[in-house]
Structure 1
Amino acid sequence: MASSNQNQEQEVIGLLPAGGQATRISPLPGSKELYPVGFRYVEDGSVRPKVVCHYLLEKMRLAGIRKAYFVLRSGKWDIPAYWGDGMLLEMNLGYLMVRLPFGVPYTLDQAYPFVKNAVVAMGFPDILFQPDDTFKRLLAHLAARDADVVIGLLPFEHPHKGGMVDFDTEGRVRSITEKPAQSDLRYSWCTAVWTPAFTEFLHQYLAKIETERSPNNAAANLSQRREIPLGDVFQAAIDNSLRVEAEVFEDEPYLDIGTPEDLVRAVRHFAAQKI
């Protein structure tokens, strides 16, 4: 598939997949993406709780991204109720619905008609990471190099929980292994930006999977299908000659507040910060 480099005038749109069930930390009174972690100032100088996905949207906003879509599963109506049109961050926010519940790639593909001609900046709204200029650096890398995808890497000590990445000295990704039992690799990916070339590849990759499903056994297909990690699609893109590169960030490992251990760490860390 031909590469499609970022044009300086090309729109960048944020995508936030929010189709998960939060089973590992359930029950919750609302969506995990709105779990309060830390605090923020408001105009009168007082403080308010800061929800977890606020941090991701701030990083997008810092990179100049003005438009983003949450892709939701049914029932997560508290997310649009909280964010509305995005005025709180001076962004334009929209909301799309998950159709097939088979993993993040399917969730992201729901945005295909809205983002297929744009550069996409993707982050998980239940993951906390640094630095604040992550998307600025990822987009700069994408613009400067002949890449279709640039993934952001952070040091990660628990390979069975992440997508572990092997890359060369020039930053080109050789392979991505999702949740290996053991690994000598040091870095896991947690965010990404990509050109329309990868958006189209993702769309066609999933369409091919659906076409190959047996229409005579639809019920069994639905009940027995495993979720597809996004890392598997990145790997398929590499295998099909798309250029996937890495930007390494040497900050603290990311925190996935969808797990009990990281939720405790996040709440303690941000509660201890001065505001």
Structure 2
Amino acid sequence: PGPGPTWIDGLVTLQDKQGSERLFAKYVKIKGLLTTYERGLVEFNEKQKAFEKREVFDFNAPLYPEGHPVKYRMDDQDYILFGQAAPLIRVPANPDALADLKQYETYSYVKPDTAAAADWTVDRDEGGALRYQWRKNVSPLTSELEKKLIQQNKLSEQERYFQMRDIETNERIEIQNSSVAWNEYRGKWTMIGLQKYGTSVLGEIWYSEAASPLGPWKWGRKIVTHDKYSFYNPKQHPLFAREKGRLIYFEGTYTALFSGNEVKTPRYDYNQIMYQLDLSDPRLAAELFEK
């Protein structure tokens, strides 16, 4: 309830202490076109066949569920990873933790003892190398944050976390949001990512892979392009993968809304389109992503 539309993302299924499976999602309330004024957690009610509000989050909290989640085990514990450009936020994989923002951490080298952007402190070891740790009470790394740190001479270009480059041109690729999943065929974590600034407005989709869902995501290959049309919020569907992941599937929202294109595709505008990607294609050879 409340004025404006309700959007959800970060849908995840978890088991509670009784072994029951429960479906959760983060919700946001929107005013105007894209202004968020409330966020929190909802749970799907099987009997009512509807989502119900479970928690209203502190709007100023730096960490909360967002993006497309992925389950990952580390340090002998099951976690859910969240994030936009990369899944750099974690929370223990249980309903109580999911609703408690105090249990959220992000993988970062920025110390959490500073709130103002001008006072961010980069954590380094005795040798001067960045010290990555799981940290609470600090915003997740973004390309924008790293650009500010570089401007403040606290970080070098070579030290950036977001280093993805085009396999063909070596140009830097900035990812808006992504979907990461384990791929048995490659023995790697695969990313389907939406480029932030590309040849179309939110219409360029890239493939990358890494040994960990945390990266490093070094190289990317463009796999979908659009001529003045958008294809945003891509999502991998590992459930549909075939031949141990040789064939993977992802969808996105196809729309002219953000593109500036006045000619909308009949029957398809603002609709979901799914693609199949064949990882045995020579243009996606594993060695290209290992150089």
Which TM-score applies when normalising by structure 2?
0.26
Between structures 1 and 2, the one with greater strand share: 2
Whichever structure has more helix as a proportion of its residues is 1
Larger Rg: 2
